[in-house]
Chains A and B, each alone.
Chain A
Amino acid sequence: MDQPLVLNTFMLLTLATLLTPIILPLLSNNLKNTTTTITNTVKTSFLISLIPMAIHIHSGTESLISLWEWKFIMNFKIPISLKMDFYSLTFFPIALFVSWSILQFASWYMASDPYITKFFTYLLFFLIAMLILIISNNLFLLFIGWEGVGIMSFLLISWWQGRAEANTAALQAVLYNRAGDVGLILCMAWLASTMNTWEIHQIQLPNQTPTLPLLGLILAAAAKSAQFGLHPWLPAAMEGPTPVSALLHSSTMVVAGIFLLIRTHPLFNNNPTALSLCLCLGAISTLFAAMCALTQNDIKKIIAFSTSSQLGLMMVTIGLNLPQLAFLHISTHAFFKAMLFLCSGSIIHSLNGEQDIRKMGGLQKMLPTTTSCLTIGNLALMGMPFLAGFYSKDQIIESLNTSYLNTWALTLTLLATSFTAIYTLRMTLTVQTGFPRIPPLAPVNENNPAILAPITRLALGSITAGFLITSYILPTKTPPTTMPLSIKITAIVVTALGMALAMELSKMTQILIMPKQTPMSNFSSALGYFNPLIHRFSTTSLLGGGQKIASHLVDLSWYKLMGPEGLASLQLMATKAATSLHTGLIKAYLGAFALSILIMIVSTY
């Protein structure tokens, strides 16, 4: 059997299946889309994509195909090439599985929406753009996918466009992503001029890569994956409906930045500056996001900051020069994070739109499946041994602990791990346990297969995905084989400490002592004061600087002072200085003038 051919065929068939709901309605008026058709399309696509993954696991087959070539200029060709390696072959089924579950959930969540088919079509467009990004071997095609997911993110966040905050959030997402695109285009320009290609398998440098294009790539990844400095758009993106948050802003779109760094990691291999920058940026991001999540009261914001924190952890892994481990974390994270969002969506809908955890409680008896899966997802997130998150997260912390790199980054990451345990347990305890604080007539109901099936499916994935992926895939770099016991159990000990602290704190909330504002809690509540500082400061300085340039520099200085008024003032200065020299006696001047002319005429004779 010609395995690469089978691989190519099935991957292209996957993409083609996803295109059918877009193309078929254009051909005939009878072939209108419905939510069921789109969900079933994605399900079929998922099942088809399992075959290439199985072939790859079985025999390690990879393939690289080139579909069409844009003959740009004579020396520079842009082939539309697709790379089917471990990363794309594994991520396709995962992304499609998660998308299928989310679409099935969305058919219940958005059932009351009159434009639900448009919603599903948008999600499908997003999925296609994301898969193009994953499978592309050429940075040009990747950029098409990159922009595609950015645009669909904009359209989906502002789904309820009558809401002012949703529009602001969508604009914020687009602008921050644009800032990252600058970096990506910079790197592409450098690649085109130095290596004359945008093909990922052709970009190898024997000696050290210059740092500037790598900075561009890191900027692109920082914007797309919400690292510190370019992170505010991710919590704001929770304005979109919950299926959007589950698909885009937890499993797929936000990992596109990390995926870019994984794809281009040969460039990073020999540049320790860039790797250290990734490490430190990731460590700061993970700690900052975990700190902000500690005092959030909106369930979706907690999960959003949790996503941001895990993305920081993935960036840390890139900084450790372990791209495959970062990919493993992407894969396992997709499962439990999407499930957390779906569970929160089920809770929100049951409580008639209530998203504040202070008005939830005691839901364990009312929504048993949802809360059980919420617990499983939270345990997986915390790195409970042998659930999905453990295989990736524990390995990352072990590698960080045993490497000779930045200890400061290690400390921040461990602190963030304990914070993860704290806010996760806080969310679990507040939402599920205790006495109910919900309004009495809440339509609490989860008896719908459209909710239960996706959530339980993803729960199964959260439990088994880590184990399955690590069983079948050999690591490309040798993981640390021996380490002292204290290093080995660091992650678990730190998480357990966090959990113990969270239990203590939750017990303290029941004591009759009045809580109050403190500087640290205010810092966390205000998300580090980052949003007002940067949003207002940068815009006012830009606009103020622009105004100063227009009025003072151009109008006053260039047009006036360097031109007529400057000359006039110079003249004025000269005349004022000369004024004191003369006395103004015209007759005397004329007499002296006539006398000198007379003397000159007489002296010539």
Chain B
Amino acid sequence: APGAMAAYLTHQQKVLRLYKKSLRHLESWCIQRDKYRYFACLLRDRFDKNKDVKDMVKATALLKAGEEEFWASQHPQPYIFPDSPGGTSYERYECYKV
């Protein structure tokens, strides 16, 4: 069906997922908004520098290095929205559903 998820992720999807989750963890580290914006711009620049790499081997190596850096510097208690899985209100109203 159109719009359904494929079995494999494209390189673009992987990079964008890395970007979003590193931004979310950055938000968990940098509580004040101005400080977050500063480091978010730096992070965006780091991603943008390697935007035009056409060599897939190199691109995959960069992605792998990025994932490793993310793992090393992730926040131990990342911010999770209350209704998201792992959040404080997740599944709270399951017992009231018919």
Our pick among A114, A160, A509, A522 for the contact of B31 (Cβ within 8 Å) is A509
Residues of A within 8 A of B39 (CB): 512, 514
Residue of B whose beta carbon sits closest to that of A521:
B76
Residues of B within 8 A of A525 (CB): 76-77
Q: How far is the CA of A298 from the CA of B41 in the complex (A)?
A: 27
Stretch in A47-55, A349-357, A545-553 with 4+ CB within 8 Å of B: A349-357
Q: Is the CB of B35 within 8 A of A510?
A: yes
Q: Which chain B residues (40-98) contact chain A, with CB distance < 8 Å?
A: 72-73, 76-77, 79-80, 82-83, 88-97
Q: Is the CB of A509 within 8 A of B95?
A: no
Q: Is the CB of B88 within 8 A of A509?
A: no
Residue of A whose beta carbon sits closest to that of B86:
A165
Q: How far is the CA of A82 from the CA of B96 in the complex (A)?
A: 42
Q: Is the CB of B96 within 8 A of A114?
A: yes
Q: How far is the CA of A353 from the CA of B94 in the complex (A)?
A: 16
In the complex with contacts A298-B88, A358-B79, A517-B76, A509-B32 CB distance below 8 A: yes
Q: Is the CB of A512 within 8 A of B33?
A: no
Q: How far is the CA of A512 from the CA of B41 in the complex (A)?
A: 13
B29 proximal to A (CB < 8 A): yes
Our pick among B31, B38, B82, B93 for the contact of A354 (Cβ within 8 Å) is B82
**Beta-carbon contacts of A410-439 to B below 8 Å, as 1s and 0s?**
000000000000000000001000110100
Q: Decide if the interface of chain B is mainly helix, strand, loop or mixed.
A: loop
A58 proximal to B (CB < 8 A): no
Our pick among B32, B77, B91, B92 for the contact of A510 (Cβ within 8 Å) is B32
In the complex with contacts A355-B88, A525-B76, A514-B93 CB distance below 8 A: no
Residues of A within 8 A of B72 (CB): 517
In the complex with contacts A510-B32, A512-B35, A515-B30, A164-B91 CB distance below 8 A: yes
Q: Which chain A residues (103-122) contact chain B, with CB distance < 8 Å?
A: 114
Q: How far is the CA of A114 from the CA of B96 in the complex (A)?
A: 8
Q: Is the CB of B31 within 8 A of A355?
A: no
Our pick among B30, B79, B80, B82 for the contact of A353 (Cβ within 8 Å) is B82
Residues of A within 8 A of B80 (CB): 356
Interface size range on A against B: 20 to 34
In the complex with contacts A114-B96, A359-B79, A430-B31 CB distance below 8 A: yes
Residue of B whose beta carbon sits closest to that of A436:
B33
Q: How far is the CA of A358 from the CA of B26 in the complex (A)?
A: 12
Q: Which chain A residues (137-171) contact chain B, with CB distance < 8 Å?
A: 160-164
In the complex with contacts A295-B77, A522-B76, A353-B29 CB distance below 8 A: no
Shortest beta-carbon distance from B70 to chain A in Å? 12
Residue of A whose beta carbon sits closest to that of B32:
A510
Residue of A whose beta carbon sits closest to that of B76:
A525
Q: Is the CB of B76 within 8 A of A162?
A: no
Q: How far is the CA of A169 from the CA of B97 in the complex (A)?
A: 22
Our pick among A160, A296, A297, A521 for the contact of B93 (Cβ within 8 Å) is A160
Residues of A within 8 A of B89 (CB): 353
Residues of B within 8 A of A587 (CB): none
Q: Is the CB of A435 within 8 A of B32?
A: yes
Q: Is the CB of A163 within 8 A of B79?
A: no
Shortest beta-carbon distance from B32 to chain A in Å? 6
Q: How far is the CA of A148 from the CA of B17 in the complex (A)?
A: 49
A582 proximal to B (CB < 8 A): no
Residues of B within 8 A of A356 (CB): 79-80
Best-surrounded residue of B76, B88, B89 (most CB of chain A within 10 A): B88
Residues of B within 8 A of A517 (CB): 72-73, 76
Q: How far is the CA of A358 from the CA of B30 in the complex (A)?
A: 9
Shortest beta-carbon distance from A135 to chain B in Å? 35
Residue of A whose beta carbon sits closest to that of B89:
A353
Residue of B whose beta carbon sits closest to that of A511:
B35
Q: List 27 A-B contacts (CB under 8 A).
A: A160-B92, A160-B93, A162-B91, A162-B92, A162-B94, A162-B95, A162-B96, A163-B90, A163-B91, A163-B94, A295-B77, A296-B77, A353-B89, A356-B79, A358-B79, A359-B79, A434-B32, A435-B32, A435-B33, A512-B35, A512-B38, A514-B30, A514-B39, A515-B29, A515-B30, A516-B73, A526-B76
Closest 4 CB pairs of A and B: A162-B94, A162-B95, A525-B76, A163-B91
With A160-B92, A355-B88, A512-B39 known, 6 other A-B pairs at CB within 8 A are A162-B95, A163-B91, A297-B28, A358-B79, A430-B31, A437-B31
